[in-house]
Amino acid sequence: MQLSSNISLKPFNTFGIEATAKLFTVINSVEDIKELLLHKDYKSNPHFILGGGSNILLTQNVNALIIKNELKGIEIVKETEEDVLVKCAAGEVWHEFVMYCIAKNFAGIENLSLIPGNTGASPMQNIGAYGVEIKDTFYELEAIDLQTGKCITFSKQACDFGYRESIFKHRYKNQFIITSVTFKLSKKPVFHIEYGAIKQELDNMGISELSIKSISQAVINIRSSKLPDPKQIGNSGSFFKNPEVTKETYDRLKNEFPALVAYPLVNSNYKLAAGWLIEQSGLKGMRKGDAGVHKLQALVLVNYGKATGKEIYDLSTEVLEVVNRKFGVLLEREVNII
């Protein structure tokens, strides 16, 4: 385990923002973590844990020790005729883990194909897409308490998952380094194709017999058609959450804007499509210097090349204000602002 100083973070964030880290280290094993916790530079500096850097916006140089998690390994922990427990180390690339499970015919995370980032970050904000969230197949995770060095196992309940939320995003922020995540996957798949675009894409592909492989491919096709590839245009996926509003607010908006895109929730509230709100505010495709609102998906802010984190952040503030003025709805940022 080595510590380097004054490292450029540009290759380590999918927004492609230029910023430096005061200190930087790569963790390849649990022993590395234990060694790090005793290091004088760890004790004398704040720290920040980094996975694939696909859900962060760097608005300044990071005056901290960045701990890049690269723990590797996938292990089948328990198997029955019905299901299987698969433990995945935090530094494994999420999409590669999904592909591994599909190849083995382990079902449950196929709808989450092509989400960037590492497995260790997946419980942080309970990643979700196309009608599925990781909490649906999550079994437990292991994390090291960065103060005591103790390894703690968190059950699903202990993680307190919500929509793009978990206990690690707030109460335990920066307190634990997640080292592995275990999923309970099914050998008898239940297909989730209720999300409209999937059915349509399966039709386009000419699929008559469903499989987790074909669903994964449909999701990959849809995502590739509208989400910008960070290798080409810097971004961190949806910049804002889809806001939840009361029925009263929904009724008011639906009355004024009959085309409003909204989904009813079990608690009688509604979730609004933030992308629709932003597009209807006339902001889709807007560009200020190299910071922009994506042309095909208004929920995604992009860096066309040399935008600074502050420019992207300021653009997000403008989006918040314009949407709030038009609809009286305050969007919440989903990306972690550093």
Residue linked to tokens 């592995």: 180
User: What are 141's strand-pairing partners?
Assistant: 154, 181
Task: Give yes or no for a contact between 239 and 256, defined as CB atoms under 8 angstroms apart.
Answer: no
Compute the distance between CA of residue 281 and CA of residue 327 in angstroms, rounded to an integer: 9
Compute the distance between CA of residue 77 and CA of residue 118 in angstroms, rounded to an integer: 20
Contact letters for ligand FAD, residues 227-266 (x by CB under 6 A): x--x----xxx-----------------------------
How many of the other CB atoms lie within 10 Å of CB of 313?
A: 21
Distances from the Cα of 54 to the Cα of 10, 103, 169, 214, angstroms: 12, 25, 15, 26
Q: How far is the CB of 336 from ligand FAD (least distance, A)?
A: 4
Residue linked to tokens 């608690």: 267
User: Binding to ligand EPU by residue 57, rule CB under 6 A?
Assistant: no
Residues 149-188 touching ligand EPU, rule: CB under 6 A, are none
User: Binding to ligand FAD by residue 65, rule CB under 6 A?
Assistant: no
> Could you say which of ligand FAD, ligand EPU, none residue 54 binds, taking C-beta under 5 to 8 angstroms by partner kind?
ligand FAD
> Could you say which of ligand FAD, ligand EPU, none residue 235 binds, taking C-beta under 5 to 8 angstroms by partner kind?
ligand FAD
From 2-10, 74-82, 115-123, 251-259, give the range in contact with ligand FAD by CB under 6 A: 115-123
Q: Which of 238, 281, 311, 316 is catalytic?
A: 238
Class of residue 307 by CB neighbours under 10 A (exposed 0-12, middle 13-18, buried 19+): buried
Q: How far is the CB of 331 from ligand EPU (least distance, A)?
A: 10
Closest CA to 24 of 41, 43, 44: 41
Pairing of strands 300-303, 234-238: antiparallel
Residues 285-314 touching ligand EPU, rule: CB under 6 A, are 297-299
Residue 334 appears among annotated catalytic residues: yes
Residue 277 in tokens: 């709100």
Residue 157: strand, helix, or coil = helix
Contact letters for ligand EPU, residues 245-284 (x by CB under 6 A): ----------------x-----------x-xx--x----x
Residue linked to tokens 């984190």: 309
> Residues of 107-137 as b/e, b for ≥16 C-beta within 10 angstroms?
bbbbbbbbbbbbbbbbbbbbbbbbebbbbbb
Choosing from 3, 62, 127, 302, the residue that interacts with ligand FAD (CB under 6 A) is: 127
Sequence letter at residue 175: Q
User: Binding to ligand EPU by residue 110, rule CB under 6 A?
Assistant: no
Pairing of strands 62-69, 20-27: parallel
User: Binding to ligand EPU by residue 126, rule CB under 6 A?
Assistant: no
Residue 272 in tokens: 């609004």
Residue linked to tokens 């494994």: 92
User: Binding to ligand FAD by residue 166, rule CB under 6 A?
Assistant: no
Phi-psi region of 27 (alpha: psi -120 to 50; beta: other; left: phi over 0): beta
Q: How far is the CB of 13 from ligand FAD (least distance, A)?
A: 7
Residue 281 appears among annotated catalytic residues: no
Q: Which of 113, 133, 142, 164 is catalytic?
A: 164
User: Binding to ligand FAD by residue 292, rule CB under 6 A?
Assistant: no
Residue 35 appears among annotated catalytic residues: no
From 42-50, 190-198, 271-279, 286-294, give the range in contact with ligand FAD by CB under 6 A: 42-50
From 32-40, 120-128, 146-154, 318-326, give the range in contact with ligand FAD by CB under 6 A: 120-128
- Residues forming contacts to ligand FAD in the complex (CB under 6 A) are 14, 48-56, 69, 90, 115-118, 120-122, 124-125, 127-129, 168, 176-178, 227, 230, 235-237, 336
- Residues forming contacts to ligand EPU in the complex (CB under 6 A) are 129-130, 237-238, 241-242, 261, 273, 275-276, 279, 284, 297-299, 334
So which residues are the catalytic ones?
Answer: 164, 238, 334
